[in-house]
Amino acid sequence: MRLRLLLLALGTFAMGTDSMVMAGILGLIAHDLGVSVPAAGQMVTVFALSYAVLAPVLATAAARWPRRRVLLTALTVFTAANALSALAPNYPLLLATRVLAAAGAALYTPTANAVATTLVPTERRGRALATVLGGMTVATALGVPLGTYIGRTDWRLTMWLVVALGAAAFLGLALLLRDLPAPATAPGLRARLAPLRNGNVLAAAATTLVFFLALNTVYIYLGTVVRPATGGDAGRLSLIMLVSGLASIAGNWLGGRAVDRLGVRTVLLTGGSLAALAFLALPWASATMPGALAYAALSPLAGWAVSVALPHRLASLDPPNAPLLISLNSSALYLGMAAAGGVGSLALTMLGDRWFPLTSTALSLVAVVLAAVTTRRRQAGADGAAGVGGTAGATGAVVPAASPAAAPVSRAGAPAARP
């Protein structure tokens, strides 16, 4: 079981490396293809926006497929797209391959997360999600530095690294990921899209969008805000990024266990509040290297713990539609990433290099308040319904006691009574 989760995580590692390593090779791409660095940076935006739009669409389109087929098809598309990126002779064709790579990632990641929850007992779902999401966090600590180093002379070598990672994940899953639980009988398109009209689902997705907007508004421009500590030294900045990556791994591990033991609401409110405090302190912490390192440890620790709770919350709302709901969470996440570049640039212009992290403080507090209000309202409804035969879910959802979906939701959500 553990091996299968790790193989799923290898796929997310490949996709995390692909989506985040571009920051380290933009200059080389721009020089090679004869475009400006800001133009080359649009590859990140194109990937993120394509992912956000395609994730729920592809989850719906592939709803009737066996999940193993979905995973292998997604990896095939993703790997082929990166091979085409490595071979792209010009900028427009490279942009087109990024859309195709995003389609593969948008199909794979939500399905991998949904599959992970079926491979373990319900009380370990948080840890299963953390393992698969761990591929993304390890990509920040290992995949991005490795890809940047390999591509230091030729950015196309970085693309071939991603191809190799995608092919390895495909081979491992093709050989070892068999006998997956079949997806629930797929309803029609209209029924599949019904959760998108649910206010609780939209509130959860909005929380994801705002929180990742807060995280990435600072992360994209981290080199700028910590310049007083680094003095522009690349070695010092690399150390800060390494600490940030390792803290992301720790936060992902901690978040999975905290969700299982303390409940989604507690992790959302505690982690979101700690992230807000870290952003608030950054203008002062960034003045010294120890302060910058402390920020690099605390912010990702809290942020990635929250990132485990967010998809868990959505999947618990309607377990039979977990792939669609997790794909919606992924869409919201990537929309936040796509918007963060513009929001961060505007904040830099208005507030300056030192104070722009306060924008992330405000955004993270909005996410905390949104989570507090929506989860409390749902928990209150659950408590009332429980008295007449209902069962409270992980985020307060109520399902009939006789429903087949009731058991996994209530067992996974039992700790949520303790926020």
Own/partner long-range contacts of 156-163 (Cβ < 8 Å, ≥24 apart): 156/86, 156/87, 158/21, 158/24, 158/25, 159/82, 159/83, 159/85, 159/86, 160/82, 160/83, 160/86, 161/17, 162/14, 162/17, 162/18, 162/21, 162/82, 163/79, 163/82, 163/83, 163/86
The reply to whether 1-186 and 197-419 are identical in fold is: yes
CATH of the domain spanning 1-186, picked from 1.20.1250.20, 1.10.1370.40, 1.20.1340.10, 3.40.50.300: 1.20.1250.20
CATH topology of domain 197-419: Growth Hormone; Chain: A; (1.20.1250)
Q: Where are the domains of the chain?
A: 1-186, 197-419
DSSP characters over 97-161 = HHHHHHHHHHHHHHHHHHHHHHSS-GGGHHHHHHHHHHHHHHIIIIIHHHHHHHTSS-HHHHHHH
Integer Rg of the chain from CA:
21
Output the tens digit of pLDDT for each of the chain's 419 residues: 578 788 888 999 998 888 877 766 777 888 899 887 667 777 877 888 888 888 878 877 887 788 888 999 999 999 999 999 999 999 999 999 999 999 999 899 888 887 887 777 777 777 787 788 778 778 877 777 777 778 878 889 989 999 999 999 999 888 887 766 655 555 555 665 666 678 888 888 899 999 999 988 888 777 778 889 988 776 777 788 778 888 888 888 888 889 888 888 999 999 999 999 999 999 999 999 999 999 999 998 999 899 889 988 887 787 767 767 777 787 788 888 878 877 887 888 888 888 989 999 999 999 999 999 988 755 544 433 333 333 233 322 222 222 223 233 332 333 332 32
Mapped onto helix, strand or coil, the DSSP state of residue 399 is: strand
